[in-house]
């Protein structure tokens, strides 16, 4: 739909960026979140609910997530607007994660966003959730001075594990990714085997502090292999094998701590190796960026900081609340998209005709900037 077809409500035409703040929505997994950003990226208000109903199931249950998003979102959006001190009519656009992710949640967030945009006569900007993670490192204040393109993004969360060359807004090259579990998924599964709660990553990291990382000889899947794909399922199996002698008996705490430390060490070794390969696959990267919940891991952060320094690069990891799923990154990505469109002399995009997509390859993101 072109801007002209929006019943008389003016919003920026070709070459203009947003004239006012935007509301951003995130609902692709188990976080329901809203944020309001000024056109320059300042966060005017932010609200986030991490759905707790999944803990009892040891993982995100898509149907429960979708229903929770539906129950939470309208009120959350209203409260976010209220705390920004703005009225609905002040919004210049609405943005939402429209894929990839769990389809039920995406439908809730994107439909709500589109409905609001239509009611206000303002554009709806469909944001790719991975693109939002990728660009979050450029949010004002995340590093000293905004990092430039290209940079290497390591995205490691419960649902994603990949290395991306971020070459510009809309220009992403997937260098490699997991061929089985995501890194966070591996942390969660191993934590469960060790009798820890969910999500397991933080609990496993805490337990690992009491353990010896050299206590168990675990495999380093794909280490040294060409490219930068990841694999974690073999590590999980190796842990299961170490647990076999204990049967159903309670695991001695020191054994659990040693296993946790050895597992964490193996994951850090593998990620360090894969990221080294990814850096070699890029020409003159400006920074190494890590995002996703696993980027909170201290051992991993130390490794990546040292690795980046060895390559003469800064290591940038957004603060944890921006590393994990949130709506600020969705709003920021929408602003970056608007700015890039303006740079190219294109109008503010309006994606209200776009359907939510459980899969939405990043390679398709350049299409919105294709001229002619």
User: Where do contacts with ligand KG4 occur on this chain (CB under 6 A)?
Assistant: 29, 157-159, 184, 187-188, 199-202, 205, 292-294, 296-297, 324-325
Which of 54/368 has CB closer to ligand KG4? 54
Q: Residue with the closest Cβ to Zn ion?
A: 325
Give the Cα-Cα-Cα angle 67, 331, 158 (nearest 5 degrees). 55
User: Taking a C-beta distance cutoff of 8 angstroms, is the pair 44, 38 a contact?
Assistant: yes
Which of 225/321 has CB closer to ligand KG4? 321
What angle, rounded to 10 degrees, do the helices at 62-84 and 103-120 form?
A: 30
With CB cut-offs between 5 and 8 Å by kind, which of ligand KG4, Zn ion, none does residue 297 bind? ligand KG4
With CB cut-offs between 5 and 8 Å by kind, which of ligand KG4, Zn ion, none does residue 273 bind? none
Instruction: Write the binding mask 76 to 95 for Zn ion: x where contact by CB under 5 A, - elsewhere.
Output: --------------------
Which of 262/326 has CB closer to Zn ion? 326
Q: Least distance in Å: CB of 33 to Zn ion? A: 11
How far is residue 83 from each of residues 11, 44, 124, 126, 348, measured CA to CA in Å? 24, 8, 22, 24, 26
With CB cut-offs between 5 and 8 Å by kind, which of ligand KG4, Zn ion, none does residue 33 bind? none
Q: Least distance in Å: CB of 359 to Zn ion? A: 14
Under rule CB under 5 A, residue 325 binds Zn ion: yes
Q: Least distance in Å: CB of 181 to ligand KG4? A: 10
- Total of residues contacting Zn ion (CB under 5 A): 1
How far is residue 352 from each of residues 94, 154, 344, measured CA to CA in Å? 10, 30, 21
Q: Which residue, chain included where needed, has tokens 């191993």?
A: 190
Give the Cα-Cα-Cα angle 48, 63, 105 (nearest 5 degrees). 45
With CB cut-offs between 5 and 8 Å by kind, which of Zn ion, ligand KG4, none does residue 296 bind? ligand KG4
The CA R_g of the chain, rounded to the nearest whole Å, is 21
Under rule CB under 5 A, residue 30 binds Zn ion: no
With CB cut-offs between 5 and 8 Å by kind, which of Zn ion, ligand KG4, none does residue 184 bind? ligand KG4
In terms of Cα–Cα distance, which of 285, 290, 349 is closest to 16?
Answer: 349
Q: Least distance in Å: CB of 36 to ligand KG4? A: 22
Which of 29/259 has CB closer to ligand KG4? 29
Q: Least distance in Å: CB of 6 to ligand KG4? A: 33
Distance separating alpha carbons of residues 266 and 220, to the nearest angstrom: 6
With CB cut-offs between 5 and 8 Å by kind, which of Zn ion, ligand KG4, none does residue 293 bind? ligand KG4
Q: What is the DSSP string of 12-51?
A: --TT---SS-EEEEE-SSSEEEEEEE-TTS-EEEEEEEE-
Distance separating alpha carbons of residues 114 and 351, to the nearest angstrom: 9
**Encoding tokens for residue 207?**
């337990």
Which of 65/117 has CB closer to ligand KG4? 65
Q: Least distance in Å: CB of 45 to ligand KG4? A: 21
Q: Least distance in Å: CB of 184 to ligand KG4? A: 3
With CB cut-offs between 5 and 8 Å by kind, which of Zn ion, ligand KG4, none does residue 350 bind? none
Q: Least distance in Å: CB of 133 to Zn ion? A: 6
Q: What is the DSSP string of 102-128?
A: -HHHHHHHHHHHHHHHHHHT--EEEEE
Q: Least distance in Å: CB of 99 to ligand KG4? A: 14
In terms of Cα–Cα distance, which of 341, 350, 261, 335 is closest to 298?
Answer: 261
> What one-character DSSP code corresponds to residue 252?
P
With CB cut-offs between 5 and 8 Å by kind, which of Zn ion, ligand KG4, none does residue 290 bind? none
User: Taking a C-beta distance cutoff of 8 angstroms, is the pair 48, 32 a contact?
Assistant: yes
With CB cut-offs between 5 and 8 Å by kind, which of ligand KG4, Zn ion, none does residue 285 bind? none
Distance separating alpha carbons of residues 53 and 31, to the nearest angstrom: 11
- Contact residues toward Zn ion (CB under 5 A) are 325
């Amino acid at each position: 739909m072109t801007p002209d077809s929006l019943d008389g409500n003016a919003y920026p035409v070709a070459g203009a960026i947003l004239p006012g703040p935007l509301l951003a929505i995130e609902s692709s997994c188990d976080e329901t979140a809203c944020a309001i950003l000024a056109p320059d990226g300042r966060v005017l208000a932010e609200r986030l609910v991490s759905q707790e109903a999944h803990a009892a199931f040891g993982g995100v249950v898509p149907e429960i997530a979708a229903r929770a998003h539906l129950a939470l979102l309208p009120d959350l959006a209203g409260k976010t607007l209220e705390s920004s001190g703005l009225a609905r009519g002040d919004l210049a656009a609405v943005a939402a994660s429209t894929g990839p992710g769990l389809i039920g949640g995406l439908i809730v967030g994107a439909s709500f966003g589109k409905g609001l945009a239509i009611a206000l006569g303002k554009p709806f900007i469909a944001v790719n959730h991975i693109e939002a993670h990728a660009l979050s490192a450029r949010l004002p204040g995340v590093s000293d001075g905004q990092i430039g393109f290209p940079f290497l993004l390591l995205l490691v969360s419960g649902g994603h594990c990949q290395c991306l060359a971020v070459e510009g807004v809309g220009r992403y090259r997937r260098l490699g990714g997991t061929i089985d579990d995501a890194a966070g998924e591996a942390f969660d599964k191993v934590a469960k085997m060790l009798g820890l709660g969910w999500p397991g990553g933080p609990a496993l990291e805490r337990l690992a502090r009491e353990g010896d990382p050299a206590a168990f000889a675990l495999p380093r899947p794909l280490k040294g292999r060409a490219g930068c794909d990841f694999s974690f399922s073999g590590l999980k199996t190796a842990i299961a094998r170490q647990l076999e002698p204990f049967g159903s008996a309670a695991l001695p705490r020191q054994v659990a701590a040693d296993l946790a430390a050895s597992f964490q060490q193996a994951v850090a070794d593998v990620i360090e190796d894969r990221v080294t390969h990814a850096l070699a696959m890029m020409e003159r990267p400006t920074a190494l960026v890590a995002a996703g919940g696993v980027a909170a891991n201290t051992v991993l952060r130390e490794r990546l900081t040292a690795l980046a320094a060895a390559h003469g690069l800064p290591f940038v990891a957004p603060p944890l609340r921006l590393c994990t799923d949130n709506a600020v990154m969705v709003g920021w990505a929408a602003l970056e998209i608007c700015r890039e469109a303006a740079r190219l002399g294109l109008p503010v995009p309006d994606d209200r005709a776009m359907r939510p997509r459980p899969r939405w390859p990043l390679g398709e993101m350049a299409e919105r900037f294709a001229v002619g």
